[in-house]
Amino acid sequence: MSDNSWFCWSDVRRFGKSIAKDWNPNRGPDVFDEEKAFREHIMDNLNHRDFLKPAHTAIMNQKWFNGMGNYLRAEILGKWDKNPFQPLKKLINKSFLDHVIEQIHDTYRLGGGELYSWMNENKSHQDQAFHNWMQFYGKTQKMTDAQGRTFWYAKKWHKALKLL
């Protein structure tokens, strides 16, 4: 570094592509640092064909939901309590975006976003709280999506999945 200190980055899960701030121009605005831009980016593009895809698929698109991962997808859609197999466009409104942002903020406060080699700075009291917050991921019905990821959802939506 310019001050003669060292910056070491170990990307054991190979998620990162670069350490530059703008490392991927196809990712949407950051929910934490660019909340207003995040909301506008989605609301201004609701007619994009991506929002016609089933909610459980579309919400994983980093172009719109930067940083969304499997456990967030399960918890956000599960706690919203709407059919996750319907087009995302039918779910999106201001309340839904408020819910998405609240759930993402909650999970990071409780210890989400932690990799086995990286410790969340809020770790002190969260293990049980984070476990309690998780109501769907690893605990409910599951299916494999088109990208080979496991999606966890409420049992009551299983019939909707069979209709697809």
Split the chain (164 residues) into runs of 10 and give each run's mean pLDDT: 70 57 78 92 96 96 93 95 96 95 87 53 63 89 93 90 66
HSE-up of residue 3 (Cα within 13 Å, Cβ side): 2
HSE-up of residue 50 (Cα within 13 Å, Cβ side): 17
DSSP-derived letter for residue 118 is B
Q: What local confidence, expressed as pLDDT, does residue 28 receive?
A: 94
Per-domain boundaries in the chain: 35-111+123-162
Q: Which residue has the tokens 């966890």?
A: 152
Q: Residue 27: name the closest of 77, 80, 64 by CA.
A: 64
pTM for the model stands at 0.79
22 phi and psi angles, rounded to 5 deg:
-100, 60
Q: What local confidence, expressed as pLDDT, does residue 161 receive?
A: 75
Select the CATH number that applies to the domain covering 35-111+123-162 from these four: 1.10.510.10, 1.10.1740.10, 3.60.130.10, 1.10.8.50. 1.10.8.50
Q: What local confidence, expressed as pLDDT, does residue 21 receive?
A: 58
Calculate the dihedral angle through the C-alpha atoms of 68, 73, 75, 76, rounding to the nearest 10 degrees: 80
Q: Which residue has the tokens 């994983």?
A: 60
